[in-house]
Copies of this chain bind each other. A is one copy, B any other.
Amino acid sequence: MKKLINDPFDFVEEMLEGFCAAHDDLIKRVGRRAIARIDAPIPGKVGVVVGGGSGHLPLYTAYVGKGGADAAPAGNIFASPPAKPILEATRAANGGAGVVYFYGNYAGDVLNFDRAAAMAEAEGIRVATVLGTDDVASAPPSEAHNRRGIAGAFLVVKVIGAKAETMADFDAVVATARKANANTRTMGVALTACTVPANGKPTFTIADDEMEVGLGVHGEPGVRRTKVVPVDTIVDELVETILGDLDYTGSDVAVLVNGLGATPYEELYVIYRRVKQILDARRITIRRKYVGEYATSLEMAGASVSLMRLDAELHDLLAMPIHTPMIRQF
């Protein structure tokens, strides 16, 4: 895989340098591997810290900003950040009302964030953790709490950020964060692999006429490899799996059609069209819709569909404005 990079071991460093320079009106660096919104910490506001491995922009560093997260540590490509930058982000986010962590449920992230949480609490910062577990393909319903977190993270962070922005108290933010995650499901499909720059070889190989259903966002194997079929057939499988996992009957929902990197936006809109057809037929009402690249996997081709089941609170929080380096909603 060809890449527009210099030394692959300098990649994250150079990326962060460019990111911070490009968005110096919105964010600031608060550590070698941590950034925060320009006005953080906000006294009295619950801080929101999100983060994980790099290689998924806009997730997570570009979720930092007004109406989004307060701060984010950035790990190496596909590697959880160490505890230290997480702690730096925690301090930067802490306006005295405690800090909520939200990140994807991966072993490495849990190890490092838990360490950071212990260190933060030792400094007197109250911390609560909510894990993203939206990937229905990664574990059966009976083990839903063990699932991986993937693109649905965007919807959950949007909700948490908005809730914190209302100056809700710590317990309320945590409760809403848990509710948001509990009501979110995602399933995706990949057509091509991606390459960790310092590795240099694709994480997996896939034939020219095959796709991997339920693939993890780092190239972890999915549930099934199969021939590429028309996208309507693929979307039917993704959405039916989600609808079979959580009861959406008669619900309002938010839809997120997310591109993994190489898939053209045009294809994402074709997917949205099919999602809407399915939900319309089932009288599930789309109240919020997001189509684009919200959580990528470097240059992987593929897409995922997320549905968040909405109550009035989740709806109104999604509808609030957000202004981050890559996510803007009026």
Q: Is A39 an interface residue (CB 8 A)?
A: no
Q: Is A265 an interface residue (CB 8 A)?
A: yes
Taken together, the copies of this chain in the complex come to 2
Highest count of chain B CB atoms <10 Å: which of A4, A11, A211, A261: A4
Residue of B nearest to A234 (CB): B4
Q: Is A14 an interface residue (CB 8 A)?
A: yes
Q: How far is the CA of A232 from the CA of B10 in the complex (A)?
A: 12
Interface residues as binary, A38-60 with B (CB distance below 8 Å gives 1, 0 otherwise): 00000000000000001101100
* 8 A Cβ contacts from A309-330 to B: 323, 326, 328-330
A198 to chain B, nearest CB (A): 13
Contact A272/B18 with A4-B231, A54-B266, A228-B2 known, Cβ cut-off 8 Å: yes
| B231 with A299: CB separation less than 8 A | no
Interface residues as binary, A264-302 with B (CB distance below 8 Å gives 1, 0 otherwise): 111111111110100000000000010111001011011
Q: Is A237 an interface residue (CB 8 A)?
A: no
Chain B residue numbers with a CB within 8 Å of A58 are 265
Chain B residue numbers with a CB within 8 Å of A55 are 264, 266
Contact A263/B299 with A14-B270, A276-B21 known, Cβ cut-off 8 Å: yes
Residue of B nearest to A19 (CB): B269
Which one of B3, B14, B263, B326 lies within 8 Å of A4 (CB-CB)?
A: B263
Chain B residue numbers with a CB within 8 Å of A262 are 261-262, 299, 301
Q: Is A199 an interface residue (CB 8 A)?
A: no
Chain B residue numbers with a CB within 8 Å of A234 are 4
Chain B residue numbers with a CB within 8 Å of A301 are 2, 262, 299
| B2 with A266: CB separation less than 8 A | no
Q: Is A6 an interface residue (CB 8 A)?
A: yes
Q: How many residues of A contact B (CB 8 A)?
A: 62
Q: Is A139 an interface residue (CB 8 A)?
A: no
Q: How far is the CA of A17 from the CA of B275 in the complex (A)?
A: 12
Q: How far is the CA of A21 from the CA of B270 in the complex (A)?
A: 10
| B273 with A18: CB separation less than 8 A | yes
A219 to chain B, nearest CB (A): 14
| B264 with A57: CB separation less than 8 A | yes
Q: Is A159 an interface residue (CB 8 A)?
A: no
Q: How far is the CA of A166 from the CA of B6 in the complex (A)?
A: 44
Q: Is A230 an interface residue (CB 8 A)?
A: yes
Q: Is A111 an interface residue (CB 8 A)?
A: no
25 contacts between A and B (CB under 8 A): A2-B228, A4-B231, A4-B263, A4-B267, A4-B302, A5-B230, A5-B270, A6-B232, A11-B266, A14-B270, A14-B273, A15-B270, A17-B269, A18-B268, A18-B271, A18-B276, A21-B276, A57-B265, A261-B264, A262-B262, A262-B299, A262-B301, A264-B296, A264-B298, A266-B298
